[in-house]
């Protein structure tokens, strides 16, 4: 992890307009975050976000005023520098607050063309290289959860985390039987931060609840809150891991880590440690096209099987949760953000499949029901035209029949990002809450395939998995 952070620091511009260099500022942020506990109070967290917004806004105002008196090249340089300053400020605040706020940063880093490149490149650290908290802040937490010091529980335990993210950090360990483990330790108080953030959000979003779609908006917010709270329940994640491992056991080239129940609790999760390269590291080795296609195919096969046969949505696909193991197999990590569909939700999904197969009125019905539209909204031709365009984009990789779909095509991802953005600008945000995680899963997997420049027979895989699931 240190080497990768050092590489990022070295790649930043030598100097910004301020005396402090970008390299020194990033190094200071990382060192500072390691020793600061997560703030849990509503007022403190709201104040931190408000201060961040004010600083970024002031920076952009100064850049805009100065740019009015500069040439085009100088304006471009100043804009890029301000984006970098904003990215560093956001990284510092999100790394400090963690929890739901940091999840937003991870999501922003996932999607190309949604935010400036300087921001996504810096926030990409939040996926798997977020600044870890010092072990002294977590030591008592370990003793409270497992009843003993790590040195008493494991044959060996590395006090320095090798990975950290929004809700916890991961340490290497070895059992007395010689099993190599990844031990995920939740940040103390992280559950309270989620409650605090959503209480603040409910106040800020109160005006939106007064509109015609207020009830649906409130349901979506509550759904996201409940899903994030589920992510801090490591016993739930252990169940999803075991379920996914069993469901994918027939796929010899796909691996889900084994859970060690006797060394796990609601806030600590001990898993088999997989050895290999995370997706970004693997891509940096410049693998041949055939390997990109193979890994992309395995990813689509595994996630499709979980979705259709197991009725399980792997809700957090990003480069930090995908590995190419030393023997070439695909490793899938982090099953905290999963959704197991209930009967009603599964009915909406199968209605969507029927709509795709039949098209026309059946597809319009599926989009209307899935978005929970009123009769008046469903009769709006512009709204339905937009929803049908979204459905066409959704099913496009599967609509090519037996041909391979080329996910490297930037136009496809850009059109998806544009549609995603238009749902807000057109105020077409009404939808059944389960679609939030379905969209997160769908966009995530396709962006991963785009990063790999993979060519995948997505239509064949989908049809085979639908048939296997009896749909």
Average pLDDT over residues 360-389: 94
Q: Express each pLDDT in 136-145 by its tens digit.
A: 777 788 888 9
Domain boundary pick from 79, 103, 128: 128
Q: Express each pLDDT in 62-111 by its tens digit.
A: 333 334 444 555 555 555 554 555 555 555 555 445 544 445 444 544 55
Residue 214 lies in a domain: yes
Residues 112 and 244 in one domain: no
Residues 98 and 145 in one domain: no
Residue 192 lies in a domain: yes
Look at residue 146 in the predicted model and tell me its pLDDT: 93
DSSP 391-452: HHHHHGGGTTTTSPEETT-HHHHHHHHHHHHHHHHTT-----THHHHHHHHHHHHHHHHHHH
Look at residue 436 in the predicted model and tell me its pLDDT: 84
Q: 262 Cβ partners below 8 Å, 6+ apart?
A: none
Residues 93 and 77 in one domain: yes
Residue 279 lies in a domain: no
Question: Residue 14 belongs to what domain range?
Answer: 2-128
Residues 101 and 137 in one domain: no
Residues 117 and 17 in one domain: yes
DSSP 163: E
Look at residue 453 in the predicted model and tell me its pLDDT: 97
Higher pLDDT, residue 274 or 420: 274
229: left (phi over 0), alpha (psi -120 to 50) or beta: alpha
Residue 362 lies in a domain: no
Average pLDDT over residues 389-409: 93
Residue 337 lies in a domain: no
Residues pairing with 102 in the sheet:
none
Can you give the pTM of this predicted structure? 0.74
Residue 429 lies in a domain: no
Look at residue 471 in the predicted model and tell me its pLDDT: 93
Residues 59 and 94 in one domain: yes
Give percent above pLDDT 70 in the chain: 67
Residues 102 and 234 in one domain: no
Residue 326 lies in a domain: no
Mean pLDDT of the chain: 78
Average pLDDT over residues 401-415: 92
Look at residue 318 in the predicted model and tell me its pLDDT: 86
Residues 121 and 140 in one domain: no
Residue 467: pLDDT over 90: yes
Higher pLDDT, residue 455 or 425: 455
Looking at the structure of the chain, the number of domains it has is 2
Residues 124 and 12 in one domain: yes
Residues 105 and 233 in one domain: no
Residue 42 lies in a domain: yes
User: Of 323, 321, 317, which is closest to residue 277 (Cα–Cα)?
Assistant: 323
Q: Express each pLDDT in 155-214 by its tens digit.
A: 999 988 888 766 788 999 999 999 999 999 988 777 777 766 666 555 555 555 556 676
H helix and E strand count, the chain: 21, 13
Residues 123 and 137 in one domain: no
Residues 114 and 14 in one domain: yes
Give percent above pLDDT 90 in the chain: 46
Look at residue 316 in the predicted model and tell me its pLDDT: 84
Whole-number Å distance between alpha carbons of 51 and 202: 19
Higher pLDDT, residue 215 or 195: 215
């Amino acid at each position: 992890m240190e080497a990768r952070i050092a590489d990022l620091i070295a790649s930043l511009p030598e100097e910004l307009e301020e005396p402090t260099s970008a390299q020194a500022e990033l190094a200071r942020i990382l060192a500072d975050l390691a020793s600061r506990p997560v703030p849990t109070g509503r007022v403190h967290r709201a104040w931190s976000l408000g201060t961040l917004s004010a600083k970024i806004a002031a920076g952009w105002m100064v850049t805009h005023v100065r740019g009015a008196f500069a040439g085009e090249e100088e304006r471009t340089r100043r804009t890029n520098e301000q984006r970098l300053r904003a990215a560093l400020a956001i990284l510092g605040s999100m790394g400090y607050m963690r929890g739901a706020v940091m999840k937003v940063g991870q999501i922003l880093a996932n999607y190309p063309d949604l935010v400036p490149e300087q921001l996504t490149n810096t926030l990409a650290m939040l996926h798997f290289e977020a600044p870890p908290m010092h072990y002294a802040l977590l030591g008592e937490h370990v003793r409270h959860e497992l009843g003993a010091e790590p040195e008493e529980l494991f044959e060996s335990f590395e006090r320095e985390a090798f990975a950290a993210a929004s809700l916890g950090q991961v340490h290497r360990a070895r059992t007395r039987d010689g099993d190599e483990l990844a031990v995920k330790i939740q940040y103390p108080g992280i559950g309270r931060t989620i409650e605090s953030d959503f209480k603040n959000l409910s106040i800020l979003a109160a005006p939106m609840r007064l509109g015609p779609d207020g009830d649906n908006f409130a349901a979506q917010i509550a759904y996201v809150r409940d899903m994030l709270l589920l992510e801090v329940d490591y016993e739930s994640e252990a169940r999803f891991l075991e379920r996914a491992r069993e469901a994918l056991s027939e796929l010899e080239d796909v691996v889900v880590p084994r859970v060690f129940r006797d060394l796990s609790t609601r806030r600590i999760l001990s898993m088999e440690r997989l050895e290999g390269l995370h997706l970004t590291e693997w891509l940096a080795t410049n693998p041949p096209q055939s390997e990109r296609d193979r890994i992309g195919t395995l990813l689509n096969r595994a996630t499709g099987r979980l979705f259709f046969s197991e009725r399980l949505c792997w809700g957090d696909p990003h480069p930090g949760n995908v590995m190419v193991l030393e023997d070439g197999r695909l490793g899938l990590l982090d099953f905290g953000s999963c959704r197991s569909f209930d009967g009603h939700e599964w009915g909406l999904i199968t209605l969507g499949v029927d709509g795709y197969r039949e098209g026309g009125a059946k597809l319009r019905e599926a989009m209307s029901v899935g978005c929970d539209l009123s009769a008046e909204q469903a009769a709006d031709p512009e709204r339905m035209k937009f929803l049908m365009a979204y459905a066409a984009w959704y099913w496009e990789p599967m609509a090519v029949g037996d041909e391979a779909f080329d996910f490297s095509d930037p136009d496809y991802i850009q059109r998806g990002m544009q549609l995603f953005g238009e749902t807000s600008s057109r105020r077409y945000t009404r939808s059944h809450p389960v679609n939030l995680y379905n969209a997160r899963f769908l966009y995530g997997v396709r962006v991963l395939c785009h990063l790999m420049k993979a060519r995948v027979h997505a239509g064949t895989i989908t049809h085979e998995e639908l048939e296997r699931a009896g749909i």
